[in-house]
Amino acid sequence: MLVIVLGAIASVLWLNMRQPPATKSSYAVVGHAYFVSSGQLNENTSQGIADRLQIALDTIPHPQPNKSYYVWLLSDNDGQTNIAPILLGSSQSGGHIALFYAGNAQHSDLLARYSRLLVTEEDAGLIPTNPSLDQQTWRYAASFSQVKKPGQMDSLLEHLRHLLSQASMSTDMGMDTGTVMAGGLDVQLFRNTLKVLEEAGSIRDARNGGGTAFMRRQLVRMLDYLDGVAYVKMELLPADLSPVMADPLKAHMGLLQVTPAQNPPGYLKEIGNHLRELVMVPGVTPEQKALAIRINAALNMVQFWLQVAHTDAIKLLQMTPQQLLAPTTVALLDDLFTQANNAFVGQTDPNTNQVRAGVVQIHYDIQRLATFDIQPYTAAR
C-alpha cells in the first residue's frame, strides 16, 4: 500500500513540477510564478507547504548594459515593514527567464506571509539587499488581490491562505478559539484522507491474523476522520467501543458532511465553499476560475468514494468477530480499501480511460490556484 501511495504522489508531483499553468489570457501577461511544496511536512506547522517558487517569464527584453533583472517576493501591501523582501533570483538576459527558488532551511510556508512579486532592473555589479525605491526601475509585478466586494468575508488572498496556509479554527472549523490550524484546509484534507487509507489497509491486513479487536478499533478511527468527533457520536456504534479513538484535534473536523447544517462542516464541503466564493472575488483570473471548477468536480467524486467507504465501515462494525473473519467478508474489506484508495489516489475510468482525480491531485491543483500572473508594472498597481 505504501508503494502505491508514494508512487501516486511522486507521479503527480513530477507532472506538476514539469507542467506550469496555462499561460493563455486575454490581458497582458508576460509570465507566471507559482508556489510548489517541497513535501518536507510537519504535522504541527505549515512547514513544507508552498515553500518554493517557480518563475517563468517570456519574451522579456534584454536589460540595459550593466543592468540585471532582480525578482523579489514581497509581503502584503498593508503598511507592515517588518517582513523582509526575498530575492528569488536574477538574470542578465532577456527572452525566456526561468528561475527556481528553493526556499529556506526551515521550509517556511511563503504564502503565509507573502502575496506580491516584483521585478526590478538594477545594477548588475552590486546585488541589492532590498528592491529599489525608485519606481522607474520597476519593470514587472504581480499580486493576489486583497479587495473585497460588499458582503464578501474574504478576499482572493484570504481564500488562498485558508486553503493553503492557515485555516482558522473559529472560522473554518467551528471552534470557539482564535487558534490557527497549521497548513490550511488543503493539507488537512490530504492528511486525514491518507489516515483513512492507512486504516483501511490495516483493517484488511489484520483479518489475516485474526485481529478482530484491532479491526473494530480501526473502523471507529476511520469513522472519526470521516464524520468528525462531534458527529461520529451520532453513529449506532457497538456499546463496547468508544466513539472517539483518533486524535480529537486532528479529527475535530470530519471529511464528510453528515448533516446539511453541521458545524463544523466537512473538509470537502468547506473547501468547496471557499472555491465557490473564490471564483467571484475581485482579482480572480480566468485560469483560477477554470481550475476551481475542476477541483470542485473532483471533490464531488472524492465525496462519493468516501461515502461508500463510510457505508462499508458501518456494515463491518455491525458484524460479530466471527463474521469479520468469515470468507464472505473479504469482498467487503477489499471494497473498503478500494474506495479509500480511490479517494486518495484517484481512479482510471475503465470506460473512458480518463483519470478521475483523487485528493493527491486535488492537493496539487489547489496549490496551483496560488499562481501569480506577472504583468508590466504600472504606477496604479
Q: Provide the residue ranges of all domains of the chain, joining segments of one domain with +.
A: 25-144+372-376, 166-369
* Average pLDDT rounded to a whole number, residues 355-372: 94
pLDDT at residue 373 is higher than 70: yes
Residue 171 pLDDT > 80, yes or no? no
C-alpha angle 234-238-243 in degrees, rounded to nearest 5: 50
The answer to whether 71 touches 95, Cβ cutoff 8 Å, is no
Residue 22 pLDDT exceeds 50:
no
Nearest alpha-carbon partner for 232 in 245, 213, 215, 218? 245
Phi, psi of 274 (to 5 degrees): -65, -40
| Mean pLDDT, range 270-274, rounded to an integer | 95
d(CA 38, CA 103): 9
E-strand ranges in 272-348 read 346-348
Rounded distance between C-alpha atoms, residue 246 and residue 228, angstroms: 10
Q: How many Cα atoms are found within 13 Å in the side-chain-facing hemisphere of 173?
A: 28
Rounded to two decimals, the pTM is 0.85
Which position has the higher pLDDT, 180 or 370? 370
- Average pLDDT for 147-170: 84
Of the candidates 72, 160, 158, 188, the one whose C-alpha atom is nearest the C-alpha of residue 121 is 72
Helix (H, G, I), strand (E, B) or coil at 343: helix
Kindly report the CA angle at 62 between 58 and 68, in degrees rounded to 5?
A: 105
Residues 216-225 pLDDT 10s: 999 999 999 9
Which region holds residue 99: left if phi is over 0, alpha if psi is between -120 and 50, else beta?
beta
Whether residue 176 is predicted with pLDDT greater than 80 in this model: the reply is no
Burial pattern 211-240, b for ≥16 Cβ within 10 A else e, equals bbeebbbbbbbbbbbbbbbbbbeebebeee
Q: What is the pLDDT of residue 174?
A: 52
Mean pLDDT over each residue of the chain, to the nearest integer: 87
Selection from 223, 217, 214, 169 nearest residue 196 by Cα: 223
> pLDDT at position 31, please?
95
* Number of continuous H segments (helices) and E segments (strands) in the chain: 10, 12
- Residue 13: pLDDT over 90: no
Q: In what order do the strands lie in the sheet with 371-376?
A: 86-91, 67-75, 114-123, 138-143, 371-376, 31-36, 52-60, 95-101
| Helices 286-317 & 212-227 angle (0-180, nearest 10) | 150
Contact status, residue 221 vs residue 237, Cβ threshold 8 Å: no
Confidence of residue 181 (pLDDT cuts 50, 70, 90): low
Q: What pLDDT, on a 0 to 100 scale, did the predictor assign at position 177?
A: 44
- Model pLDDT for residues 61-111, shown as the tens digit of each residue: 999 999 999 999 999 987 666 789 999 999 999 999 999 999 999 999 999
3-state secondary structure of 345: helix
Q: What is the grid cell recorded at 244? A: 472517539
Cα separations in angstroms, 300 against 188, 211, 307: 17, 34, 11
How open is the CA angle 281-376-371, to the nearest 5 degrees? 45
Grid cell digits, residue 228: 468528525
List of residues 6+ apart from 36 with CB closer than 8 A = 16, 17, 50, 52, 53, 54, 367
